Amino acid sequence: MLAALPCLVSACLVAACASTATGSGGTGSGGTAPSGTGPGGSGPVAAGDVAASPAALRVSPAASRATPRASQQPSAAATPLAGITVGIDPGHNGLNGTDPSFINHLIWNGRESETCDTTGTQTAGGYTEALFNFNVARYLRAALLADGARVVMTRTNNHGVGPCVDRRAQILNDSGARVAIDIHADGGPAWGRGFTVLEPVADGPNDHVIGSSERFGRDVRAALLARTSMPVSNYYGSNGVQFRNDLAGLNLTTIPKVLIESGNMVNATDAALLTSPRFQRQLAAALLAAILAFLGK
């Protein structure tokens, strides 16, 4: 079983690390980045940890894991998400391709059977979606912690297999999160560019969060347009939005959630952005802004 990420303690806030697990489905895949471990390299991260740095998006990963002195702790006014749990599902996992029998076994997605997960897509240069997804999730997690949130992630590293998309949904549902984001990138036609926000369709389990998920989707779309250079998709969805009824992560959610296809890894222009750490941090900052807007913070 994967170990949870270490718990950081501040002088202002003491938080115990809780264990959680995995989470969510989508159309893309790929990725790697430094972090903790979990079962098979795919275990969950419970974030009762305190923010490592109020400037988490502008510091190195090592710096963002350091425990600041009491004098450096953010004030209550600087932690708008204190007491709030946010869920993040970095789609796919770095070693999904090594265990096809597990990844291809069927699960119930709320409407029909689908495979446990996929490998995801990649750029022409071999940069995987799983790596992209995890890097953006790591930046977003650091920023959320800096704002006082408790963060639950469905996987803690990019060198594991799974978890399955239904299990990812359950982890986030069980986390007490007020909102969650599934992070992906797409593998579309080479000529196509842009991001698409995937939103759920009512199917029973998710009925009571359809309206709130659509509102969160509008916040995500607006934040990406305002804070990144990625345009809305010109090949998928309508004006940057697509409703999906065939993804476990959206069908099974009981909390407000959308899935972001952050760009097209097969398109050379999008790929140059998606593989850039600068853009990944920019995207994480946009997602943070969307979460704050959704929560009225």
pLDDT value of residue 273: 98
> What is the reported pLDDT for 44?
52
**Three-state secondary-structure class, residue 47:** coil
Report in angstroms the alpha-carbon separations of 132 from 11, 84, 92, 127, 296.
Answer: 34, 26, 10, 8, 28
Nearest to 169 by CA among 88, 290, 83: 88
Query: Tens place of pLDDT for every residue, the chain, 297 residues?
Result: 333 333 332 333 333 333 333 333 333 333 333 333 333 344 554 433 322 233 333 333 333 333 333 334 455 668 999 999 999 999 999 999 999 999 999 999 999 999 999 999 999 999 999 999 999 999 999 999 999 999 999 999 999 999 999 999 999 999 999 999 999 999 999 999 999 999 999 999 999 999 999 999 999 999 999 999 999 999 999 999 999 999 999 999 999 999 999 999 999 999 999 999 999 999 999 999 999 999 999
**CA dist., res. 250 & res. 233, Å (int):** 20
Hey, what amino acid is at 244?
A: R
DSSP secondary structure letter of residue 109: -
What is the β-pairing status of strands 106-108 and 179-186?
A: unpaired
Handedness of CA 172, 284, 209, 237 (dihedral sign): negative
CA distance 36 to 46: 11
Question: Which pLDDT belongs to residue 77?
Answer: 66
Residue 265 pLDDT: 98
Q: Which long-range contacts (CB under 8 A, 24 or more apart) does 54-57 make?
A: 54/78, 54/146, 55/146, 56/139, 56/142, 56/143, 56/145, 56/146, 57/139, 57/142, 57/143, 57/281, 57/284, 57/285, 57/288
Note if 261 is an active site residue.
yes
DSSP readout, 267-289?
Answer: SHHHHHHHT-HHHHHHHHHHHHH
**Beta-bridge mates of residue 150:** 85
* Token pair of 121 as six digits: 């897509």
* pLDDT of amino acid 215: 98
Rounded CA gap, 279 and 292, in Å?
Answer: 20
CA–CA distance, 280 with 183 (Å, rounded to integer): 11
Choose the catalytic residue: 114, 129, 199, 261. 261
Which stretch of DSSP H or E encloses residue 183?
strand 179-186
What pLDDT was estimated at residue 131?
98
| CB contact at 8 A, 92 and 118 | yes
Which residues does residue 247 pair with via DSSP β-bridges, in sequence order?
Answer: none
What is the pLDDT at residue 36? 36
Structure confidence by residue, pLDDT tens digits, 150-184: 999 999 999 999 999 999 999 999 999 999 999 99
